[in-house]
């Protein structure tokens, strides 16, 4: 039987970006079917936006991001970033690609890299259209699709599913009813996928 993982992530989460390729590689190696769910921090379950954390914790968070970015081979632009709009609308491009059975992984990778490594304003529709087009996708089609009912309905349903699944931060992986929060939990997820359920 095919193994499956519900994958909860946010385009606006640097941890989702850092752990993205490692998770995709793990899933391929273990023949895992991924179902993506995109949303933002689930405050109802105790999630906290970084901007609402004490400065001492934010400073540690930044250091830890830099450590993990080096481990994962990712470039992060964290300091002196230009003022950017909310990246959340970029999620709609990923959802549209997924619903249309396109390469949603490639779309998500392009948008995350643009936002976290290049500080591009993916909250703007023209910017994200250009980014995914340059990456080899039909940016104009994804831009048209983002307002469609099925895309908007999945966006709304993803948040409800995240809340009801006990998700509070990103990335979160759920396999066989077991929740793993954070890309640093990927080794535990892989053990579970190989039969060592906690």
Closest CA to 186 of 171, 198, 169, 166: 171
Closest CA to 84 of 138, 31, 121: 121
Do the strands 172-175 and 3-9 form a parallel or antiparallel pair, or are they unpaired?
antiparallel
CA–CA gap between residue 9 and residue 191 (Å, rounded): 21
Q: Tell me the backbone φ, ψ of residue 173, rounded to 5 degrees.
A: -120, 135
Q: Which residues pair with 180 in a beta bridge?
A: 173
Do the strands 3-9 and 178-181 form a parallel or antiparallel pair, or are they unpaired?
unpaired
Q: How far out from the chain centre does Cα 125 lie?
A: 18
Tokens encoding 46: 């105790």
Q: How many CA atoms lie within 13 A of 27 on its CB side?
A: 19
Which residues are catalytically annotated?
A: 13
139 Cβ neighbours under 8 A, 6+ residues apart:
128, 129, 130, 131, 132, 133
């Amino acid at each position: 039987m095919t193994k499956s993982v519900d994958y909860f992530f946010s385009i606006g989460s640097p941890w989702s970006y850092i752990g993205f390729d490692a998770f995709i590689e793990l899933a391929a190696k273990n023949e895992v079917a991924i179902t993506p769910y995109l949303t933002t921090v689930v405050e109802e379950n105790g999630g906290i936006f970084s901007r609402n954390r004490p400065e001492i914790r934010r400073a540690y968070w930044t250091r830890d991001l830099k450590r993990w970015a080096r481990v994962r081979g990712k470039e992060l632009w964290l300091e002196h970033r230009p003022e950017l709009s909310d990246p959340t609308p970029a999620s709609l491009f990923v959802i549209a690609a997924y619903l249309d059975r396109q390469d949603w992984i490639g779309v998500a990778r392009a948008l995350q890299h643009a936002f976290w490594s290049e500080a591009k304003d993916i909250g703007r529709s023209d910017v994200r259209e250009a980014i995914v087009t340059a990456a080899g996708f039909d940016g104009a089609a994804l831009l048209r699709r983002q307002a469609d009912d099925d895309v908007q309905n999945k966006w709304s349903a993803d948040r409800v599913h995240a809340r009801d699944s006990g998700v509070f931060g990103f990335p979160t992986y759920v396999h066989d009813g077991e929740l793993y929060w954070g890309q640093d939990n990927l080794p535990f997820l892989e053990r579970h996928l190989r039969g060592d359920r906690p």
